[in-house]
Amino acid sequence: MTIKQRLGVCYYPEQWPRSFWAEDARRMREIGIAVVRIGEFAWSRLEPREGFYQFDWLAGALEILHRAGLEVVLGTPTATPPKWLVDKMPDMAPLGADGAPRKFGSRRHYCFSHEGYARECDRIVEALACAFGEHPAVVGWQTDNEYGCHDTVESYSIAARDAFRKWCRSKYETTEALNRAWGNVFWSMELGSFDEIELPNLTVTEPNPSHLLDFKRFSSDQVVAFNRRQVEIIRNHSPGRAILHNFMGAFDAFDHYAVGADLDMAAWDSYPLGFLERSRHSDEFKTRYMRLGDPDFQAFHHDLYRSCGRGRWQVMEQQPGAVNWGAWNPVPAPGAVRLWTYEAFAAGAEVVSFFRWRQAPFAQEQMHEGLLLPNSEPNEAYFVAGEIAQELNRMEARAESARAPIALAFDYESAFAWRIQPQGQDFSYFDLVSAFYRALRKLGLSIDVVPPAPEEMKGRKMILAPGLFAARPELAAAMAQSGALVLLGPRSGSKTKDFQIPLALPPGDFGSLLGVKVRRVESLRPGVALAIRDLPGAHFSGWREFIALGEEAEAALCCEDGEVALSRRDNFYYLSGNPNDELLDALLRRLLAQAGADIIDLPQDIRVRDNGPLRYVFNYGSEPADISEIAGDAVFLLGGKTLDPCGVAAFMRKDEAE
Amino acid sequence: MTIKQRLGVCYYPEQWPRSFWAEDARRMREIGIAVVRIGEFAWSRLEPREGFYQFDWLAGALEILHRAGLEVVLGTPTATPPKWLVDKMPDMAPLGADGAPRKFGSRRHYCFSHEGYARECDRIVEALACAFGEHPAVVGWQTDNEYGCHDTVESYSIAARDAFRKWCRSKYETTEALNRAWGNVFWSMELGSFDEIELPNLTVTEPNPSHLLDFKRFSSDQVVAFNRRQVEIIRNHSPGRAILHNFMGAFDAFDHYAVGADLDMAAWDSYPLGFLERSRHSDEFKTRYMRLGDPDFQAFHHDLYRSCGRGRWQVMEQQPGAVNWGAWNPVPAPGAVRLWTYEAFAAGAEVVSFFRWRQAPFAQEQMHEGLLLPNSEPNEAYFVAGEIAQELNRMEARAESARAPIALAFDYESAFAWRIQPQGQDFSYFDLVSAFYRALRKLGLSIDVVPPAPEEMKGRKMILAPGLFAARPELAAAMAQSGALVLLGPRSGSKTKDFQIPLALPPGDFGSLLGVKVRRVESLRPGVALAIRDLPGAHFSGWREFIALGEEAEAALCCEDGEVALSRRDNFYYLSGNPNDELLDALLRRLLAQAGADIIDLPQDIRVRDNGPLRYVFNYGSEPADISEIAGDAVFLLGGKTLDPCGVAAFMRKDEAE
Amino acid sequence: MTIKQRLGVCYYPEQWPRSFWAEDARRMREIGIAVVRIGEFAWSRLEPREGFYQFDWLAGALEILHRAGLEVVLGTPTATPPKWLVDKMPDMAPLGADGAPRKFGSRRHYCFSHEGYARECDRIVEALACAFGEHPAVVGWQTDNEYGCHDTVESYSIAARDAFRKWCRSKYETTEALNRAWGNVFWSMELGSFDEIELPNLTVTEPNPSHLLDFKRFSSDQVVAFNRRQVEIIRNHSPGRAILHNFMGAFDAFDHYAVGADLDMAAWDSYPLGFLERSRHSDEFKTRYMRLGDPDFQAFHHDLYRSCGRGRWQVMEQQPGAVNWGAWNPVPAPGAVRLWTYEAFAAGAEVVSFFRWRQAPFAQEQMHEGLLLPNSEPNEAYFVAGEIAQELNRMEARAESARAPIALAFDYESAFAWRIQPQGQDFSYFDLVSAFYRALRKLGLSIDVVPPAPEEMKGRKMILAPGLFAARPELAAAMAQSGALVLLGPRSGSKTKDFQIPLALPPGDFGSLLGVKVRRVESLRPGVALAIRDLPGAHFSGWREFIALGEEAEAALCCEDGEVALSRRDNFYYLSGNPNDELLDALLRRLLAQAGADIIDLPQDIRVRDNGPLRYVFNYGSEPADISEIAGDAVFLLGGKTLDPCGVAAFMRKDEAE
Ligand SMILES: [Zn+2]
Ligand SMILES: [Zn+2]
Ligand SMILES: [Zn+2]
């Protein structure tokens, strides 16, 4: 399936005089915007008093946009319940881990477990879907907004506690089973009834990790259930419209694959500069990329959400200028917004939608730039959008999809697990997977980021799954049958699903595949490096394991202290530590060659990405780069052999062109 | 008006045996102390049980001090309500932003909005004013003590919430007006009734900045109202006595000008070493000045509080030795206490009063030094005070007052605004204004620190207002009419009074004066510098704006990336970034020359200050300095041509002497 | 008294199938384990429902261990009350200083002041003591587990508040006495009734230090009383068994001497790597010793707890591998576990007991290694234990005891005091005493760490008491009569017991001994050094005092600014600042020579320790060391003249051998 790639914008008609709407729509069309998202925070205007619906203005806005030739994605307003509703049921507030209520006055002030609030959501979603479900302008729906933003997945309210008890009862059936799964004999934590279960906050020292993991699973399930109620209502009333949700970046507090499974496509909100500031990169890195963002962060999420959307995805909010929420908020480099947009299209985005049309002069996000200044003059991104729209037309750009030969697993339960038990305080699953992703991308590869599902293993040349929390026999079997080269570890398979150490020792059910046992592990403070023999500059840091080789396994790399660093059994490898970039680069070059995957020797800060037959090249550096070797004698659709900073080139791949 | 300059001391007769009092008073007189502050924490001794007044001891102390020839400033004890009172109305406790009560057991444990407590204060103040209002020893009154110390301006109690609702109703009259002013359509924050207003704490993510700004204004107004009740009672009963309050340093949580407007004079508590430790200066700076303090911090506050007192002011608590409340508490350098005292007198202080007479051997401040050791032996400052008293007599020192040609605006609402929305996490209004102040002072200028009031603009050669939150047309008009050179920005005029971006874009109502529009802004992480063309070493850091010049404006300085750094329209300048010291120095030299203000080329760490015809010179460095060029052939009243570290010189200015 | 030194292990039969027990016991015996601790967290298995005791399994385990020839220390399970008990009396939860309850879900979730919980503890302890008090396997009892771990000494519950009021009433009898002792006249803190006393949390600024000190004393007393109830019950039912408690490291929130006084012996839990990570050492230090631990930390605690146990002590939990609770958790160096074990035996430990037999695959401590892996295969420490057991047998190792010529005071009230009032934010009593300890140990000395009790002063060559909070006349007299060289200061004697400055000025009752008065003190930020004259490299940092010498005292060392750094009056010295290592080394060499104590010039990272006639030598460095000069021509029982990294040598001291 290929789909025409288009631009979108986020628009808030309720925030502007009605007299602005038609001119706004006209200008959107003029610069080539095709899709407009509206409505997702407008509850207080849609229902200013309980049961007193005011949909006229929305109908008017839809009509104006429709007449201008714009398509609309309509958001449900459930991320911002109005004050009258909150006052009706004050216990709908989420409670923080410290036990304090999280009050009205910004957004996301609801507990996912509060049935009363869920019913209110059913009601407003039903009303909206009934009213506009078949409106010709409406081509899609967005449920709620950025689930989990501001740490809102977990709530410690009474509603959450009662729901968690029910969830546990349903999962375990007997307290004996729960006590066994959690190992509650330890520290006399055994429970005699499901009503004795507490939420895992405010404990004297850390709670039981199994208890925490189930609470995170439960909290994730509550998000899934909350979303599904809206999806089902909308489906009933709005046939043929795509339902999506706009996810966030570097966010792992619920299972996005599971939410995605109920949607028609995935979307995410891409803020390269804000996310860079929030990351754990060094100050030097942050300063270096302060106006363009981490060259690999957006790309990773494009791949991740393409997976969540089972191939269909888009950017719902693209940063168009400085934002308001970073620790510091620089203006993007000239060219940055265009580069970001093409990175998304290169990864198969159907739409890239800018946030937002016009900068609001009021309230929390008044310092967040838009395509227009608050006084309606064009800001820089306005012109950029126009330029891209023309280029897209000229290129006849389409979202293509194909299974990549390289699959990198990203698993939300593993993220839960290693947050619960980092064992070394800076251990991060997200950073570990990101390091593998970056190393692969620097070698010019297109990658699928996938859940650890057996069906994702098929048809791959290489499968990578660092830090994969728990092994499942069917996954191990799928890996074995795939014929792919498989690289696991560190920490892969080191727990059972109940968060216990497997009795066969880690890597648990991966053990027979790999032929190793992990006897001991250690975390290492920053600055401690365990050099790898015969690979100058390569080392482990932060994490290292001591493994015993089974009969069929051999040491492929060793640490200088003699411990095995990489084991091999046939085409199954286990890496027993946290690798630095040099180690990853050397290791992946070796394994990719063995797997028969082609790499490209890219200059630093150059990245490539294939979308169907098109190959895109991006320059994240501060100097012009010569990409003639990459392009060969291909004809450029965008750019040319010299790529300026922030530059984008695109050409037809030779293997495709021939 | 000129007033004889004298020394004072803070004294707690209730903390010492009655037998000590006469000898204490004798020794005070002996070393030349003229004024004694007493009583401000003595509620539990003045009213040990409800309604059971015990004023005899205070009458006795006043009598003893009076007979020794000492004048008394009497403090109201409302900063420390006793336990029996608190237990009567437990809801008088302020609540922190986290919702936790702030309990009895230290001081300032009251909510400014609690009417019950306010009535108790009326009662005790009335009783004291009746009893001692016309006592011959009493020459002044101090209301309460250090309003706002320990973060006590804002309270999140029920009393505060109810008072804030009332305040909002009174300000906005209709919820429509409030919703519009706050931009509550954003995120469905619209309110249907004033009773729906919550305090802006415990929200899921940041609250609406307009909401926060009004809450800060309200909280400031509560302090003003609380103080005014005491002032009015005292005025009724104590005619002719000066009423003051002792403010703190680097403290911007309420409008000190507004409190000052109800007083007869301002006072502040000057702790150079403690305040240096609390500041955001670098470790290197703190170590360098660890025994003498920031050379410009005290000076700034002297000018600020002279303004708050409309010309009449004093130091109520002068650090006399090591204190107890810094992160570290070194002993001042020999000479430091004398230097600090003369800095205050040079700035027109009527009294410099040391805190405290005798070091208490008990309770929270037992490590705070006094003029005497706990065993009544003299500590070092005892002798210093005696020496200064003799010098003052010899010099016939008098507090003079005159309008300075340079006015630097400091505005409390701007401080509120930029705390609410720094946009870059280290942006500080106080630091921004301080940098301008320091640069001016290093050029030898005497400065008035002023509120942004039209009447303060008159008669100036130069007016500076960096970071001035909101423009008012009448202020812009006064600036235009003043004939002064005006330097605004960065961020000046960037908001309306409602905390919205002006629809004409920043600098709002200053725009016509300056001929510029600010289209975009950015904050920059530490270490990022935007060099200024043709000014080696000069740069912006932390903050930078992108401005568009109107027809009548021109670029006076540019950044290396070509953006305008300083715009000029006639004698109106706009600086579009946060300047480093080199940029400020070069810029101010240029503008001061244009404005016709004389500068003095001072060696590093030398500062000067004029008090009427007298010019004082201070050495904050670690080496002796030759000041003969500054003094010319003037006759020294203090010091001489070589100024030792911590040294003070004073001579009659030539223009005055001739 | 000499006692055979043996190995032990901590074992949790309730966590494993009954079928494992006999084989576990057999293997324990096989490798030479003699003592097994069991039961201390097993309440939910001993009493799964209220009043429904299930002791059969424990009887069975005891029987199996007994038959295998193992001795048992039985723990009371009161550190982990089960959920049904907590639900019966929810107010038994301790409250944090922030007012939040500390909930069920880990351990130590009880308030020491809750009488209802104390009665439940009486009941279960009584039941266990009745059942097993005279069991032939049971040779000892452990009360509870790690009192105070996870900051649990202080609770801010209603139960604690009421008990504290009672405690104050009992101590002071009248509020006048309390008000005077606390100096409550300051800030009107005077109380009219004991029922007005609040706990010292949630105050607006810091509470009264006297109030805090009494609260810490009270909280310490509550631990003592809680422990004593268990001890008395056990004594009644289990004659001849040693009762102990397992204390922690670097833990000073209650008076361990006072708890120890009710016990038959002391024990502590020694985790060299975990404690190093938790310490305030530099990153460089932590990295250097990351696999072996601070060379002096364990040694200090061995001496401290030998003192708490009045000569009888043991290590109850010896780290056997990586742990789970450090910020980072490296695997110990090969040889580290053996070195740690011998450090304890060299200090006179009766037993070194490893924690734990088998690594648990579940719950909070699943990443804590044991002698066995979770699958029962031997981990490294299993073999180490076996090796040590054989060596102990061969050496016929016995715990010896003798008074050391050097006594270093460590006082819990001083630790309370300087936590309450550090005056410089990094001042730490524990670090101050540790620095003296380290300097002494580097000079090859064996040291007694002692409480500041008069009887401990006798028979010493040198007594050191830095930072000793309050002087008592009888202690000063004992020092004077001891004939020892005495080194006091800084801060010694600087407060009265009520936390007031002595009216005679510091060092209070030590003043007549030392002939000095401390007039002023200062704390200094990191990086500020006050050089000592004529001692290159020596300086004070962090803390310095200004002292006046009495007629009989002289300056033995001076700072470069001329202030006295060390005073001397006969054999009484006062050090007026916080010394760096160079100063301590030079000073102690000088004073030890004067005191007639022999020092040994040890290479860096080499430490020695005498146990009776045996001298042990340890290598904490990363290179082999030549110790032939230390050993002379002695015959080695362990090791030899070249000591490898982590190496241990032992030989008969020549003075003993001859
Ligand atoms: Zn319907
Ligand atoms: Zn009256
Ligand atoms: Zn009994």
Task: Label residue B656 by pLDDT band (50, 70, 90).
Answer: low
Of B191, B196, B503, the CB nearest to A374: B503
Beta partners for residue B544, in sequence order: B522, B577
Whether residue C188 and residue B77 make contact (CB cut-off 8 A), yes or no, is yes
Give the pLDDT score at B657: 45
What single letter denotes the amino acid at residue B163? A
Average pLDDT for chain C: 97
CA of B135 to the centre of ligand 2 (A): 15
CATH of residue B628: 2.60.40
For residue A257, report the distance from its CA to the centre of ligand 1, in Å. Answer: 28
Average pLDDT (C425-434) is 98
| Rounded distance between C-alpha atoms, residue C117 and residue C110, angstroms | 8
Q: Quick one: average pLDDT of C470-480?
A: 96
Clarify whether A545 is annotated catalytic.
no
Backbone angles phi, psi at B409, to 5 degrees: -80, 135
> Does C343 participate in catalysis according to the annotation?
no
C242: β partners: C140
Residues C50 and C24 in one domain: yes
- Cβ separation of B109 and C184 shorter than 8 Å? no
Q: What CA–CA distance (Å, rounded) separates C243 from C263?
A: 5
Read off the pLDDT of each residue in B215-226 and give the average, rounded to a whole number: 98
Question: What is the DSSP-derived secondary structure letter of residue C193?
Answer: S
Mean pLDDT of A259-277: 98
Q: Which of B206, B208, B522 sits opposite A322 (nearest CB)?
A: B522
Nearest CA in chain B to C528: B287
Does residue C245 sit in the same domain as residue C376?
yes
Q: What is the pLDDT of residues C309-331, one digit of tens each?
A: 999 999 999 999 999 999 999 99
Q: Does the pLDDT value for residue A658 go beyond 80? A: no
| Closest chain B residue to the Cα of C192, Cα to Cα | B84
Residues with CB under 5 A from ligand 1 (ion): A 126, 130
In a domain, B584, yes or no: yes
- At residue B145 the predicted structure's pLDDT band, cuts being 50, 70 and 90, is very high
Within a domain: residue A268? no
| CA-closest candidate to residue B467, choices B435, B439, B513 | B435
Same domain, A456 and A591: yes
Q: Are C356 and C38 in contact (CB under 8 A)?
A: no
pLDDT at A456 over 60: yes
CB contact under 8 A, B287 and C527: yes
Instruction: Inform me whether the pLDDT recorded for B155 exceeds 70.
Output: yes
Tokens of C411: 């006082």
Q: Are B576 and B567 in contact (CB under 8 A)?
A: yes
Helix (H) or strand (E) holding C285: helix C283-288
In the predicted model, what is the mean pLDDT of residues C293-312?
98
Same domain, A556 and A650: no
Is pLDDT above 80 for B241?
yes
pLDDT digits (tens, 9 = 90+) for C197-252: 999 999 999 999 999 999 999 999 999 999 999 999 999 999 999 999 999 999 99
Same domain assignment for residues C149 and C171 = no
Give the residues across from C517 on adjacent strands: C548
Angle among Cα B199, B204, B205 to the nearest 5 degrees reads 95
Asked if A405 and A462 touch (Cβ cutoff 8 Å), the reply is yes
Residue A169 CA: distances (Å) to CA of A196, A218, A226, B192: 11, 12, 20, 42
Average pLDDT over every residue of A603-621: 96
Do B327 and B460 fall into the same domain?
no
What pLDDT sits at residue C401?
76
Of C47, C71, C120, C146, which one is the catalytic site residue?
C146
Q: What is the pLDDT of residue A445?
A: 95
Does residue C576 lie in a domain region? yes
C111 is in an annotated binding site: yes
Reported confidence tier of residue A653, pLDDT bands at 50, 70, 90: confident
Mean pLDDT of B496-504: 97
Same domain, C123 and C168: no
* Residue range A116-146, pLDDT digits in tens: 999 999 999 999 999 999 999 999 999 999 9
Residue A328 near residue A277, CB atoms below 8 Å: yes
Tokens matching residue C316: 């109850």
Tell me the residues surrounding ligand 3 (ion) with CB < 5 Å.
C 126, 130
Q: How many CB pairs under 8 A join B and C?
A: 167
DSSP string, B300-367: HHHHHHHHHTTT-EEEEEE--S--SSSSS-PPPPTTHHHHHHHHHHHTT-SEEEES-SB--SSSTTTT
Q: Could you tell me if residue C411 is inside a domain?
A: yes
In a domain, A77, yes or no: no
Tokens, residue A467: 């830090």
Asked if residue B583 and residue B459 are part of one domain, the reply reads: yes
Residue C656 above 60 pLDDT?
no
Q: What is the mean pLDDT of residues C28-42?
A: 98
pLDDT at C531 over 70: yes
How many folded domains does chain C comprise? 4
pLDDT digits (tens, 9 = 90+) for A25-46: 999 999 999 999 999 999 999 9
| Residues annotated in a binding site of A for Zn(2+) | 111
pLDDT in tens, A589-599: 999 999 999 99
Euclidean distance between CA atoms B71 and B51, whole angstroms: 29
* pLDDT tens, residue by residue, C4-25: 999 999 999 999 999 999 999 9
Q: Domain boundary at C211, C234, C249, which?
A: C211
Q: Which of B176, B188, B525 to mutate to test the interface with A (most CBs of A within 10 A)?
A: B188
Cβ–Cβ under 8 Å, residues A494 and A518: yes
Separation of CA A123 and ligand 1 centre (Å): 9
Q: What is the pLDDT of residue C181?
A: 98
Q: Please, what is the Cα angle at B23 between B22 and B29, to 5 degrees?
A: 90
* pLDDT (average), residues C357-369: 98
- Do A518 and A616 lie in one domain? The reply is no
CA of A126 to the centre of ligand 1 (A): 5
Q: What is the pLDDT of residue A656?
A: 54
Q: Does an H or E element contain C636, and which?
A: strand C636-638
Tell me the CATH number at C647: 2.60.40.1180
Nearest bound ligand to the CA of residue C237: 3
Across A475-514, the runs of DSSP E, i.e. the strands, are 485-488
Q: Indicate whether B332 belongs to any domain.
A: yes
- Note the pLDDT of residue B658: 42
Pick the closest to residue C314 from C357, C275, C352 (CA basis). C352
Report the CATH number at residue C538.
Answer: 3.40.50.880
Q: How far is A409 from chain B (nearest CA, A)?
A: 32
Q: Is residue C658 very low, low, confident or very high in pLDDT (cuts 50, 70, 90)?
A: very low
Q: What is the pLDDT of residue A401?
A: 76
Same domain, B424 and B510: yes
CB contact under 8 A, A203 and C287: no
- Given A570, A595, A620, the domain boundary residue is A595
What are the residues whose beta carbons fall under 8 Å from the beta carbon of B624, sequence distance 6 or more? B642, B643, B644, B645, B647
* Average pLDDT of every residue of chain A: 97
Q: Is residue B591 part of a domain?
A: yes
The CATH number given to whatever domain includes residue C49 is 3.20.20.80
Q: What is the pLDDT of residue A657?
A: 45
Q: Which two tokens stand for residue B119?
A: 């009535």
For residue A561, the model assigns a pLDDT of: 96
Whether residues A622 and A553 share a domain: the answer is no
Distance CA A358, CA A374 (A): 6
Average pLDDT over residues A95-107: 98
Evaluate whether C437 touches C447 at the Cβ level (below 8 Å): yes
pLDDT at C653: 87
The last residue of one of the domains, among C545, C576, C595, is C595
Residue A205 in tokens: 């020292």
Are the beta carbons of A328 and B205 separated by less than 8 Å? no
Report whether C107 belongs to an annotated binding site: yes
Residue of B317, B350, B391, B456 marked active site: B317
- Within 8 A by CB and 6+ apart from A536, the residues are none
- C356 is an annotated ligand-binding site residue: no
pLDDT tens-digit map of B455-469: 999 999 999 999 999
- Same-domain status, B476 and B625: no
Say whether C287 and A182 touch across the interface (CB within 8 A). no
**Per-residue pLDDT reduced to its tens digit, B160-188:** 999 999 999 999 999 999 999 999 999 99
pLDDT tens digits, A226-244: 999 999 999 999 999 999 9
State which residues form the domain around A642. Answer: 606-657
Q: Find the helix packing angle between A56-67 and A18-31, rounded to 10°.
A: 30
Instruction: Give the closest ligand to the alpha carbon of residue A128.
Output: 1
B97-136 pLDDT, tens digit per residue, is 999 999 999 999 999 999 999 999 999 999 999 999 999 9
In a domain, A422, yes or no: yes
CA of A236 to the centre of ligand 1 (A): 7
In this structure, what token pair is assigned to residue B522? 């950015």
